[in-house]
A and B are shown apart, each in its own frame.
Chain A
Amino acid sequence: MKVSFHYVPGEGFDSDDGKDTVRIYFSQDKKEMRHAPTELLLLAVGSCTSDDVLSILRKMRQEFSSYRCEVSGEKREEHPRMLKYAHIRYIFEGSVDPEKARKAIHLSLRKYCSVSITVERGGVKVIYSLIINGETVDDSVDVEEIKLEEEA
């Protein structure tokens, strides 16, 4: 796996590794519509776990009309300004069984999601919430508290 980017004067960094261009924020150029590196990390966390969760729910024939994921985080005030936490919100509309969605999320965050597990093992607290049809099913669950069946 290898990525690359170059500096676009007055704009920021653009990836140039042959795939669709990712436009990255550079603090000196202040183009606010570009994603900052830590935001990209949050996007990576959310998209990696979403890949697992939707794959598992598809396998379980769960039907949803829409899905979105929000990931929020906060950095420390002092240097190094590491991420303190990443809060992943899985938001479904449709006929999704809460137990099955919970199982999919737990499997992802404890076993399969390489990005969130890398981040968590690096000392970042990872928490999640599950929202189905506007109702909060799980609220701010700490991944450290999750026990998979095979670990019980």
Chain B
Amino acid sequence: MSKLPNKEKALGMYRQMYLIRKYEERIYYLFLEGIMPGTIHQSTGQEACAVGMLYDLRKDDYMASTHRPAGHDLAKGVSLRGMMCEMFGKEDGCCHGKGGAMHTGDVEVGALVANAIVGGNLPIAAGVALAFKMQKKDNVIVCFFGDGATNEGSFHESMNAAAIWKLPVIYVCENNLYSATTSIALTCNMPNPAADRAVAYAIPAEVVDGNDVLKVNEAAAKAIKRARGGEGPTIIELKTYRHGGHSRNDACQYRPKDEEKHWFDRDPVKNFRDVLISTQLATEQELKTIEKAIESDIDESVEYAQNAPFPQIESALADVYWEGK
């Protein structure tokens, strides 16, 4: 069993995990109702990865996400309202409606625009880390990617560069076993596609239960300390599972039912809730209060976003080049 955090941190982590769970749930329903435009790639089931990795970062540290960014963004501090408005393509969205579901982010809180090219964020994260190093800052960046990204050339080029330059970057593979609908076992000969390859670059690596927020957080703490201390990159491979399909049209018919059951029984949000109760870090009543507040925040954000104005049409032609704000 992992070392327990203090009560404030434990409740803070639970709050974020529950927020991500309920946010994704609400987005899903808004899609089913046909109210929301675009597409969705949901992180339900992977909440412990986002929260465990990002909880201890400073606001001026950075995070680079993927086409499945909502959990990461919320955990890094992008506002709920900014996220929801972006999903509706509204002016108040975190990218003023120009990003959308796969490009949410807000540099004000250290969340880079999420990257919808598989592996596209890996060298960019190395560049961010290089800038920290050249500017003699002690900041770090956490860069998420999926199991499928480990087969991209950008993965190998980026790991190599991060290693030779000892960059303050933490590369986090959320291995949810499927690259869209293809099992990673079909496309990689190693059981741990990110961690097993780390030896090729002499980067320390760890395989962690990605559904256990405390274990993820322990691994994160070690890697952050290494990066901040100038000791270079770490690869962390988190074993996890998405509860839904790859995207909105995917009914997950390629996943064995017993595999789904195995993972659904290890629900990261429910399990952490049970830990909080069983260790008496929180009472049932405290958790219910937290949950109710989050549900009400989400209601408020949906209502706000639905009533918020769309961007001015002319803004479509702005921001192609930096206009020096």
A, B bound:
no
Residues of A within 8 A of B (CB): none
Residues of B within 8 A of A (CB): none
